Structure 1
């Protein structure tokens, strides 16, 4: 996997410029079915909600060749109970649409004989896929100078002569490290790790189908597993082998598990909407006859065989990376309604967004207008991750906040709702809507939590504590996750990325707030205290996706350098003291100060090139401290846990003042998560874990900061000087 290297920059233009601007998506993919062959879809085979089930597989009638939509690796599995069919799971390497992270594309119902004769990989009908993988396989053993074993189905994941559990995660096969034991000129492979799945180009003839084919698009949330995940649905081999997959609420044995199954619908995308997105931002769809579809008319015609060819899907992510109103915090008082939606601002219906499933299906709607509920807090904001805003909707490069989002009182305006947000939907010359989806990240209401603890004495009333979630409390998760990317050796740090976007604020020097979208990253490292002692640590940080800031010539602007957002590994030399440091252009600055009690402390802040402010937040604690917090998660059986920063002085505005006159804040780290009934709960660890911050950007425990090297900036580069003790 690549290292976490910055991959581009964003505009930091002041408010007077750059408004209502979004870079072109430039979608580019291959149509998965052979051109010139007719396909059709029965209404029962379309993607979407059917009462208590949600079809993730779009199934069409078709006979002909099938192609890879994008470049990636391919893994094969059985197709239900049909021994004549196989399923192929494609893991994209090159994403076909910017900003749309696809984890898997699952092809269901390919003809087995196009891949295997018995258990041997060979095809009666030659395909580009078989040609590529046979060449890769023989080339590997030729390079090793040994005799290649028989090329069998197990080499591409199919359970031929190997034991596989349907509970195995698909990632276990894509992210494995192949192992081959060589004795003399004989090679012996280990089960499940026989051959690393080769990279297949976009538009490769994958195989053929006879009668019908199903296809799923799974969106990427990250390459990790969650400890004690209560969601009954998992991306495992049972899902990979399904001939025709649906999410079924009936498999949830509690109300919360049923809710988690409904939530899973947001992890899937209709293939028709995927191709429909190519009508936005100069898209291209390559066809099997080497033609390229680029116009709205061409693309709409090509996807017209889908029953959802005119369907627009609305996805809204709300608090704590859950769907809109997952916690019931968006409802109007005394009502379950929480959204106004319709084709025009004058024709809106008051509805419950998440009624049924948290994916809204809008069929043949000519345009889309929504108003969402809000408490008008100053941090309320929306980011349009996917979709085209109408020119009437004022925005700041697709961030909507402040006067662009919130309504002013008067003239009968209902300030419980945002302003109308209008989206343009592409239509053909015959005025037919082209399938697509709109995806919003929205923080509109403050989440409030009430906690009850027993009184100090028997019979005493419970002590009720209320918490308002701050911006920082919605950021750092990944607490109890395990990375799926495997280290190839001892000198690598494996890091985990949560691919779901978050909206966060940065206070600027003008007294206002800059708003950004970020993903989050967790890294575990080891720092040497001396020749024999080491300190395991855990660092959580945000990775910039996009930012909108208020800048003037009088104040410093924030760095707008995007971070790469892929999980992977970082290699290091075993001859040096290797430890986590922020990627360039960031570095740690150290500052020693004295507490009011006379204790010497080390403070960390994020340094950057002169004249810029950080667009990153970071939390650093030791591994032992992290274990205390994981223990609290496990003991309370919390799901979706994140860190809650409890100001030691009570009020969030309260600060300490060091003897040197340095202001700083000190927090007790708590955990906020969902209990087994889905209710948000805040718990504290048995042993206190404290972190301090001197810049409101980097939050670190004293033991973490103590062993970070002093850093200076020479020509904007960090230089290690010595360890503070």
Structure 2
């Protein structure tokens, strides 16, 4: 992940207007076609929107030749539609080709079947490096095990044999499965559905050949987990993997909300031309089949010129709750559907609706780009440029834009409904032709108001509707009802999943202005061994730092810029000893026990850093049973995209002070999510589930904190006897 460090080659030089510092992307990938061979593409075959459908497959014609792996990864083969002479190959990257761009799959559609199989046997009519590699690995594995080498058949690399696979199976079920081999009398047998280990293939491997046409999809990574009762009609399943030519079609949705979710899915895909176009930024390299390397703007632009989108810039904007900009309709101008000013210069901006049609803005032959987004000018309004190069005229703090750099000052005719103009630099050839790329923004510009209905048990008292404002922390912890896709090998494993979508969050500091950061989020399941050998199952939610911008003064402590780098997975443990969740070093937890204002004993946790710096992490800890109560609410109200909502009995979410002068905050947990119509709704369990915090970083229920083994513990002497008894 990108870190907050100066680059050897800056996109724009530091100046008094802002730091303008971003590490080089250093993209490196292999071009998927042979160098020197031409291809054609019609407008109907290009990536992008076309009315009520959105083409995710960029399809080309007039090409007969080799196809190569874009990056190192595992390969999974599937049928290609109804054409028995073709196959599709799904590549899951192991090494990401572009820093900060998480690719989940690259799907090649329409490869010649004969280059992989003769009948059901894996043997190529036209020798390919891919088949050579996997045959060598297959033979080596069985020789190492001392087992007779079986026939190498299509099912060993995922291709279905008989009815062993269902189109509703998720692709991840095959990439993240556990394969088991049973040996009886020297003969190896495997489960038909999982009778393979997908091979790891180097970048630039000759994968197969195509005759006439080939399609390619790039799927961006959101995380390796399954959402319970996901209402989105689109799924990354075998039906998608087997499509000969894939489009998102709004007509598949049978409600307005499901159609909206299909439109939202467009943000999960990236045009192949824009992917290669990004290599013009930050010292990129595209390796070619003749061992040459493309590095200049002119070379890269020439190589992708056959795509109809070779000069298209795509604008992706993530708004509140990790949805696209204006997903909730909160960004519109009053009495209008317009919510963005966009154009090539500040003097030539058009007022438009960003998400009209699809939430991916396509800008063909745009010479430069300026945008202004709507805002309510709240103090927490901020933007982070995840992808894209800011023009030197746009003031920023290492690509974070907030405060006076984002919001306009009243007077001089300024339209306070909008941010300041944000200007992006687009790469162009010497002839002035724009090179395909995409710009990705994380933006929090308006506070979301959610209405809560309180129904009285007394029929004489009418229900009340109250408006609740979403706080920064109410947009952090999700993943409440997800399941890990990575399969467990044993019953004794910590299971953890990552949401790869970035969030903008604040950390309080002593300068009066918060430190701002981008984070991803992690969910961990663990088990604590309590007294009497009983177990307590728990769920921990944790932020992982991606990038941070601090406001530092000479007499203030620095906040750590340690960037977490973690993926979904499992961690084995034994049932006879504690293998509890702990934050990764340099973090550890500190426990504080005190008497609350109600006279009850409160166990609270706080974050500790070995070097004494301020933490850049937030944690929520609940027991498994407490989490299940919230899942029951989510299921009962059929909420989608649920997140924890923190409610306080105090006005303005103020502090309590214990009898021992410990300042703490206490919240009870609710859930905010989308109902069947897509509107936000808040629900609260009964009885309430309370969490406490003494540092505004760790929020935990008493049962979670009480049994958490920690390095340091503080027990107030005044209540020692009460705790002991």
Which TM-score band applies after superposition, normalised by the shorter structure? Answer: over 0.9
Q: Indicate the residue corresponding to 1:50 in structure 2.
A: 50
The aligned residue for residue 641 of structure 2 is 640
- Report if aligned partners of 1:494, 1:523 keep a CA contact under 8 Å in 2: yes
8 Å Cα contact 2:673-2:681 kept in structure 1: yes
In structure 2, distance between residues paired with 1:158 and 1:513: 53
Q: Deviations over 1:344-394 (max 9, x none)?
A: 000000000000000000000100000000000000000000000000000
Counterpart in the other structure of 2:97: 96
2:33 is matched with 33
- The answer (yes or no) to whether the contact 1:708–1:724 under 8 Å persists in 2 is no
- 5 Å-filtered alignment, 1:135-214, equals 135-214=136-215
CA distance in 1 between partners of 2:694 and 2:192 (Å):
52
Structure 1 residue 8 displacement after superposition: 8.4
Residue of structure 1 equivalent to 2:65: 64
Alignment partners' CA distance in 1, 2:401 and 2:3: 21
Structure 1 segment 407-422 matched on structure 2, within 5 A: 407-422=408-423
Match of 1:328 in 2: 329
Q: How does 1:560-579 map to 2 (within 5 A)?
A: 560-572=561-573, 576-579=577-580
Where do 1:149-548 residues align within 5 Å?
149-458=150-459, 460-548=461-549
* Cα deviation, residue 591, structure 1: 1.0
- Measured after TM superposition, the shift of residue 461 of structure 1 is 3.4
| 2:719 alignment counterpart | none
Q: Which residue in 2 is equivalent to 1:107? A: 108
Distance of aligned partners of 1:456 and 1:527 in 2 relative to their CA distance in 1, 3 Å threshold: closer
Partner Cα separation in structure 2 for residue 212 and residue 703 of structure 1: 60
Question: Which residue matches 1:10?
Answer: 4
Contact 1:12 1:549 in 2 (8 A): no
CA apart distance, 1:36: 1.5
- 2 CA distance for matches of 1:302 and 1:562? 36
Distance in 1 of aligned mates of 2:260 and 2:26? 35
CA–CA distance in structure 2, aligned partners of residues 690 and 15 of structure 1: 47
How far does residue 573 in structure 1 lie from its aligned partner after superposition?
A: 5.1
How far, CA to CA, are the matches of 1:439 and 1:51 in structure 2?
23
C-alpha deviation, 1:296, in angstroms: 0.2
The 1:682–1:12 alpha-carbon spacing in structure 2 relative to 1, beyond 3 Å, is farther
CA contact (8 A) 1:487 1:493 kept: no
How far apart, in 2, do the equivalents of 1:219 and 1:724 lie? Answer: 53
Shift of 1:247: 0.2
- After superposition, the Cα gap between the structure-2 partners of 1:28 and 1:578, relative to the gap in structure 1 and judged at 3 Å, is same
Q: Retained in 1: the 8 A contact 2:18–2:396?
A: no
- Give matches, 1:676-695, under 5 Å: 676-695=676-695
Q: Distance in 2 between matches of 1:390 and 1:478?
A: 36
Alpha-carbon contact 2:515-2:551 (below 8 Å) kept: yes
Shift in Å at residue 163 of structure 1? 1.6
SS in 1 for 2:552: coil
Q: Secondary structure of 2:156's partner?
A: helix
Partner of residue 555, structure 1: 556
* Residue 450 of structure 1, CA deviation: 1.2
Residue 609 of structure 1 and its aligned partner are, at CA, apart by 2.3
- After superposition, give the CA deviation of every residue in 1:637-683 in whole Å (9 maximum; x if it has no partner): 0000000000122421x211111101111111000000000000000
The residue matched to 1:687 in structure 2 has which SS?
coil
Task: Quote the offset at 1:310 in angstroms.
Answer: 0.2
Contact residue 632 and residue 686 of structure 1 kept, 8 A: no
The alpha-carbon deviation at position 456 of structure 1 amounts to 4.6
Gaps of 5+ in 1: 1-6, 714-722
Q: Is the 8 A contact 1:11 1:560 kept in 2?
A: no
Partner Cα separation in structure 2 for residue 201 and residue 269 of structure 1: 22
Equivalent position SS for 1:561: coil
In the alignment, structure 1 residue 126 sits paired with structure 2 residue 96: no
Asked if 1:701 corresponds to 2:701, the answer is: yes
Contact 1:154 1:162 in 2 (8 A): no
Distance, in Å, in 1 between the alignment partners of 2:273 and 2:188 is 45
Could you tell me which residue of structure 1 aligns to residue 717 of structure 2? Answer: none
| TM-score, with length taken from structure 2 | 0.96
What is the CA-CA distance between 1:16 and the residue it aligns to? 7.7
Change (3 A) 1:670 1:659: same
* Distance apart, 1:151 and its partner CA: 0.8
* TM-score (normalised: structure 1): 0.96
Corresponding residue SS for 2:711: strand
Contact 1:10 1:561 in 2 (8 A): no
Question: Which secondary structure does the structure 2 equivalent of 1:472 belong to?
Answer: helix
2:718 corresponding residue in structure 1: none
User: Is the CA contact 2:17–2:396 (under 8 Å) kept in the aligned structure 1?
Assistant: no
Give CA deviations for 1:160-214 in whole Å, capped at 9, x if unaligned.
2352110000000000111111002100011221121010000000000001000
Question: Paired residue for 2:630?
Answer: 629
| 1:16–1:668 CA distance, 2 compared to 1 (3 A) | farther
Per the TM alignment, residue 18 of structure 1 is displaced from its structure 2 partner at its CA by 7.8
What is the CA–CA distance in structure 1 between the aligned matches of 2:274 and 2:464, rounded to whole Å?
A: 51
The Cα offsets for residues 399-421 of structure 1, whole Å up to 9 and x where unpaired, read as: 00000000000011001100000
SS in 2 for 1:557: coil
What do residues 428-454 of structure 1 show as CA deviations (whole Å, max 9, x unaligned)? 000000000000000000000112233
8 Å CA contact 2:4, 2:398 repeated in 1: no
User: How far has the Cα of 1:395 moved from its partner?
Assistant: 0.3
After superposition, what is the alpha-carbon deviation per residue over 1:220-259, rounded to whole angstroms, capped at 9, x for unaligned?
0000010000000000000000000000000000000000
**SS, match of residue 652 in structure 2:** coil
On the 8 A contact 2:3/2:547 being kept in 1, the answer is no
Contact 1:10–1:562 (CA under 8 A) maintained in structure 2: no
What is the deviation of 1:530? 2.7
Equivalent residue number for residue 612 of structure 1: 613
- Corresponding residue pairs, total: 709
- Cα pair 1:69 1:203 within 8 Å, conserved: yes
Asked whether the equivalents of residues 3 and 23 of structure 2 are also in contact (C-alpha less than 8 Å), the reply is no
